[in-house]
Structure 1
Amino acid sequence: MKKLTLISISAVAITGMSVAAMRFLPGNVTPWRAFHAFAERNGIGANTLASYNTSSIGSIGTTYGSPVLTSGPSANFSYGYRGALVVCNTSGDVCCLPISGGGTQSWTYTTGGAIYGTPWIGNLLDLDDVFVGSDDNYFYRISNDPNSTNQGSVKAAYQTGGAIRSSPCGDESPASAPGGANDGYIYFGCDDYKIYSLRAQTPTNGDGLSFEWSYTTGGVVESSPTFDSVNVYVGSDDGYMYAIRRKDNGSLWSKGDLCFRYQTGDAIRSTPCIYGGKIFFGSRDDYIYAIDVTTQSLSWSYQTGGNVDSSPAVSKSGSNIYVGSDDGYLYCISTGGTYQWSLNLGSPIKSSPAVANDGTIFVGTDSDGVYHVSTSGSVLHHFSSGVNVYPSVAIGKTDATSGATGRAFYVTTAGNIYDIK
C-alpha cells in the first residue's frame, strides 16, 4: 500500500538535499504570516499568552481558512509597527482587520469565488502583500501597504485551470528564507491537479505575478506546500506526497522536476511540516507519516483511528509532533516515531495544532471551540464557541512592547473571530 518512488536520484542530488535550519525558533517575536505560521509549516508561535480571557472581535461569514497576522517589531517592516489580522470566507472576501496601532486600516477585497485556503502575507520589499487563491481559479496578489491609497486592491491575478484551495507560502526574508534569498517565489496547489510556482515581481517590474513552473499530479492538490532549500513538498488526492525541485541546478536538474514521491493509502489533505530533516504529514488512510528527506525514504508511520487531515505541529523542544485525527484524538508522537500520549476531545479534529512559546498547544474540534492542552496531554482551558472550528489558531505579538507576551486568534467555521489574551 505504501511505496516510495524515486526519480532521477544521484549521489549528488541526495547530498544537495540539506534542510534549512528552522528560522523562527521560540523566543523570536514574529508574526504568523501563513497557514501554520511560516514556510516550514511547523505551527510554532514565538509568543505566550499572559492570561486566557476570550473576547469576540467580529464575524465574517463561513470560514474554513485560518487567520494570519501582520504583527511584530521587525527591522524588515520599513513602515513601522503594524498589527492586523487577515482572514477569508466562502463568500470570496479577503478581510483585513486592525488589531493594534500602526496605521493599518480595515479593508475587504471580494474575489469571484469561495475561498477555502489560508492567505500568505509575503514580506517582499517590506510591502506585506497578501497572496491567496480562490474557487474562481485565480491566484491573487493584494496590496497591504498602509502607506498606499491602493491598500486592499489587486496588484495582479494569475489564472489557473481549477479552484485553488491550497494555502500558499513563499520566501520570507533575505537572511533567513529556506531558499537563502527573498527571491519572490510562491508555491500552491490547485484542483487542476497541479502544483504551481509563481514569482512575485518587484514594483520596478510591475508588481505582477509571473509563471515559473508547474507539476501535474494524479489528483486535486488541496494540501498546502512547504519547502526547504532544494524542494517543495506537497500532498495530492492521488495519495502521493511529492518532492519537486524548486529551482534549476545546472545540469543536475531543472526547476519543476520530480525528485521523489511517496505513496500512501488514500488522499492527502494534510499539509506537510518540515523539521530536523524530516517531513511529517497525515493521510486519509488514517496514518501519520515521517519521510526522511535526505534518504528519501519512510522513517516511520503511526496508525490512528480516522482520517488525518490535520497538519502536524512541532513541539517547542523539537522532540515531538502534535496532530489531530478524525477519531477525535490529539496525538503526541516523538519525531522518532514513538507514541507519547493521546487526548480524546470527543469529536473529529481537522484543525491543525498551534504551539505557543511556553510549549502548550491550541487546537480546534468539530464540535465546540478550541482546547488549550498541556505538553503532557491534559486540558488546561476550553474556549467554547458552540460551533465547530476547522481553522487553526494563530499566535502572534500585536504591540510593540518588549518581551514574548502575545495573543491567540481563532475563527469558527461560522466565521466568528475570537481573541484570546
Structure 2
Amino acid sequence: MKMNKIYITALILLYSIQGISQTIPMFRGNLDHSGVFNSPEISNPVLKWEYRTGGQIYSSPVVVNNVLYVGSNDSYLYAININNGSLNWKFKTGRRIKSTPCVNNETVYFGSFDSTFYAIDAKTGTEKWHFKTGREAVFSAENIFGVKSGNLKCPDPWDFYSSSPLYYNQSVYFGSGDSSIYCLNAENGNKIWSYKTKGVVHSSPAVYNNIIYCGSWDSKIYALDAQTGELIWDYQTGTDTLRNCFVGIQASPAISDGIVYCGSRDAYMYALDAKSGKVIWKNKDPYSSWMPSSTAIKDGHLYSGSSDALRFYIFDKNNGNIISEYKTGIYTFSSPSVSGNTAYIGAMNGKLYAFDTNTGFPKWIFSTDASLNSLYLTKTGDYNNENLNDIFEFGMCWEMTKIIEQIVSSAGSILSSPFINNGIIYFASTDGSIYALENGNTPSQNIEFFDFSNFKSEVKSINEINYSFDKTSKVSILVLNEQMKPIKSLVKEEKQGGSYTASWNGTDEKNMDVATGTYFIKISLGKYAKYYSIEK
C-alpha cells in the first residue's frame, strides 16, 4: 500500500512537471484547478441519460470507476451508475449539499450545510468518519447591495456554493462558513491544522508546489504551507463596506506556470506570482461585473464566465487582455471545463454552452426543459427585464432573496460546473436533474448548433480593419482606450453578408486627436465580439 501511494505521488509530480493535465475526480478536475480534462470533446451531443434527485443541485459532479458522485439540496449525496444513469446508493446528511465531492482511495469526501465534513465509502455509501466545523453559513451583511434589511444581516442570495475539498498527500483541504481553511488527515478525519480568515470561505483550495491557495469572503487570496498551515502570503483584493456588493472571493484560484489566476467580486481578474503573491497583472471587467466563475487555463488563454457582464470571456493569459466575448444574456456562476478545442460552461438561464476555445464562438447550446418555459427568461435565454424588476422593487432584502430563489428554480439554472470523462459530459441543474451528454448521430431536441466559420476579421493597422460574414447581421466597431472605455464608434449598423473594410483616423468622437499609446479595436457581430490591441 505504501509503495502504491509513493508511485501515485510520483506520477502526479511527473505530470505536473510535463504540463500534462490528468483528470482527477474533484472540483475542476485536477490539483491546480486548471479545469482542463483529458477527454475527447463532445461535438455531436445527444442525451445519454438523466437522473432526477429530490432537490436543486448546485454541487458539481465527479466521475471515477464508472460512478458519478454529486450532492443535492435535498441533503443527499448520490452515487450514480454512469452506464445507465441508475442509482447505486445515496447518503443522507442533515442539510443541503452545495460542495463538490472529491474521491480518492475509494473514499468520497464532501461538506454539507449541516456544518459537517464527511468521508464516505465510495462503494457502499457508508460513513467512515465525519468532522464538525464551527458552523456553515452564507455570506451576510446589513443592507446588502443597498437593499434595506432593517439593521439585520441579510444573506447573500448569490452565495450559491460551499467550498469543495482537495485531496493532497494523504490530507484533505477545504474552506468553511466558520471562516477557516482546514487540513484533515484523510484516513481518520483528525485535524492537522486550520487557518482562520476574516470571512466565510466558500472558495475551493488548489495546490501548487506544496502551497495551498484559497480565497475568502474577506476579499483576500491566501497562500498557506500545505503541511503546517503557516501563512506564506495573502493578497487583498477590493472591498466594499458601503453596500457589501463588490466584495469577496467567490471563485477558486487556478495555477499555471507559477502564476495564480483568480477573479473577484470587486470586478477584477488577478494574476499573482505563486511564490510571493505580487501582482503580475490585474484587469477590471469593462462592465464592472463580478467575476465569480473559476478560471480555466489552456494554451495561453484563460476562460471565464461573469455575472453582470452577462458574457463568456477568453483572456490572454500573459496580460489579461480580452481576446473575445460572447453575450449569453445571463449571469454565469458555473466554471468552464475544457476538453480538446471546446470549453463547456453552464449559465443561470438553464443552458450549457460549448464554446470554441480558439475563437470564442458557440458550437452548440443545450437547454434544460425548465429554461424554455421560465417567466424570467426570454426564449433565447436572456433576462426578461420587465419581470426581473421585481427583485429590487420590494425594498427589503428578504423579498430579494426570495425572488432570486424563484428565478434559479424556475429556469433550471446550471450553476454546476461540468465534468468530462471518456467523451461524455456530466452536469447538474436546479431542476434537480443530473445530465449526461455523449456524441451521437441523432441530436436531442434541446440542442441548438451554430456555425460561425464564415466570420473573419483582422486588424492590420488603424487604417486597415477588415471583416467579412455571410448573413445579414448587426455589426459594430468601437475604439477603446486602455481602460476599455469607448472613445469612438466606427461602425454601428445592420449589414448584409459580405466583405468590408473600416479605418480609424486616430481621433475621438469630437474628432480631436488622441494621445499615442495602446488602444483596442472591438469588432462585434451580434452577440459576439473580437478584440484587437493596436498602437497609435
The TM-score range, normalised by the shorter chain, is 0.7 to 0.9
Following superposition, the deviation at residue 263 of structure 1 comes to 0.6
1:56 is displaced (CA, Å) by 4.0
Aligned twin of 2:229: 256
Q: What residue identity is the alignment partner of 1:396?
A: N
Where is the helix percentage greater, Structure 1 or Structure 2?
2
Structure 2 residue identity aligned to 1:243: A
2-side partners of 1:407 and 1:136: how far apart? Answer: 32
**Displacement of 1:295:** 3.7
377 and 24 in structure 1: CA distance in 2 versus 1, 3 angstrom threshold: farther
1:418 aligns with 2:418: no
Q: Which position in structure 1 is the counterpart of 2:164?
A: 167
Partner of 1:46: 38
Counterpart contact for 1:38–1:169, Cα < 8 Å? no
Q: Does 1:313 align with 2:299?
A: no
1:58 maps to: 51
Give the 3 Å change call, closer, same or farther, for CA 27–270 of structure 1 in structure 2.
closer
Measured in 2, the distance between the counterparts of 1:345 and 1:256 equals: 40
SS at match of 2:427: strand
Distance 1:58 1:259 in 2: 44
TM-score for both structures, normalised by structure 2: 0.62
Tell me which residue corresponds to 1:79: none
CA deviation vs aligned residue, 1:5-32 (integer Å, no higher than 9, x gap)? xxxxxxxxxxxxxx9675498987x655
Q: Tell me which of 170, 178, 185 is aligned to 2:171.
A: 185
Distance 1:329 1:21 in 2: 36
Q: Say whether the 8 Å CA contact 2:350–2:429 is kept in structure 1.
A: no
Mapping of residues 70-85 of structure 1, within 5 Å: 70=64, 82-85=65-68
Q: Is the 8 A contact 1:69 1:394 kept in 2?
A: yes
Kindly tell me: are residues 412 and 226 of structure 1, through their superposed partners in 2, closer, same or farther at Cα, counting changes over 3 Å? same
**Structure 1: runs of 5 or more not aligned:** 1-18, 71-81, 146-150, 172-182, 202-207, 248-254, 398-405
Q: How far apart in 2 are the matches of 1:294 and 1:227?
A: 12
Amino acid aligned to 1:113: R
List per-residue Cα deviations over 1:116-149 (Å, max 9, x = no partner): 1101112x3xxx210001111110000013xxxx
The equivalent residue for 1:195 is 181
Q: 1: distance between equivalents of 2:200 and 2:326? A: 32
> Structure 1 residues 286 and 21 mapped into 2: Cα distance closer, same or farther (>3 Å)?
farther
Question: Is 1:339 matched up with 2:322?
Answer: yes
Deviations 1:320-359 (A, max 9, x none): 1101110111111121123211111110110100001x22
Of structures 1 and 2, the one scoring higher in RCO (CA 8 A, sep 6+) is: 1
2:517 aligned partner: none
Aligned residues of 1:25 and 1:44 also touching (Cα < 8 A): no
1:389 corresponding residue in structure 2: 414
CA contact (8 A) 1:63 1:413 kept: yes
Q: 1:407 aligns with which of 424, 430, 447?
A: 424
- Give 1:5-404 correspondences, 5 Å limit: 23=16, 31-48=23-40, 49=42, 51-60=44-53, 61-70=55-64, 82-100=65-83, 106-122=88-104, 124=105, 128-145=106-123, 151-163=124-136, 165-171=162-168, 183-201=169-187, 208-247=188-227, 255-265=228-238, 266-304=247-285, 305=287, 306-315=289-298, 317=299, 319-326=300-307, 327-337=309-319, 338-356=321-339, 358-375=340-357, 376-385=359-368, 386=371, 387-397=412-422
Q: Is the 8 A contact 2:97 2:111 kept in 1?
A: yes
Q: Over aligned residue pairs, what C-alpha RMSD do you find?
A: 2.1
Letter in 1 for 2:47: T
* Structure 2: distance between partners of 1:43 and 1:21: 19
Moved segments of 4+, more than 4 Å: 19-22, 24-28
Instruction: Assess, with a 3 A threshold, how the Cα gap between structure 1 residues 94 and 300 changes in structure 2: closer, same or farther.
Output: same
**Shift of residue 230 of structure 1?**
2.5
**Structure 1 contact 20–228 (Cα < 8 Å) conserved:** no
Distance across 2 between alignment mates of 1:66 and 1:22: 24
Runs of 5+ consecutive residues of structure 2 not aligned to the other structure:
1-11, 138-161, 239-246, 372-411, 439-536
What TM-score does the superposition give when structure 1 sets the normalisation length?
0.78
Give the partner amino acid of 1:200. A
Residue 52 of structure 1 aligns to which amino acid in structure 2? P
Checking the alignment, whether the CA contact within 8 Å between 2:62 and 2:419 is kept in structure 1 is yes
SS in 2 for 1:410: strand
Q: Is the 8 A contact 1:366 1:388 kept in 2?
A: yes
Alignment CA distance shift 1:303-1:196 (3 Å): same
Q: Which amino acid aligns with 2:313?
A: Y
> Residues 236, 351 of structure 1: CA spacing in aligned structure 2 closer, same or farther, 3 A cutoff?
same
Cα gap change, 1:24 to 1:214, in 2 (>3 Å) = same
Specify whether residues 279 and 336 from structure 1 end up closer, same or farther in structure 2 by C-alpha distance, changes over 3 A only.
Answer: same
Q: CA deviation at 1:407?
A: 0.6
Deviations 1:149-205, CA, capped at 9 Å, x for gaps: xx100000011101182100112xxxxxxxxxxx3111000010100000112xxxx
Distance 2:312 2:17 in 1: 24
Residues 247-271 of structure 1: CA distance to partner in whole angstroms, max 9, x if unpaired?
Answer: 1xxxxxxx11111000111200100
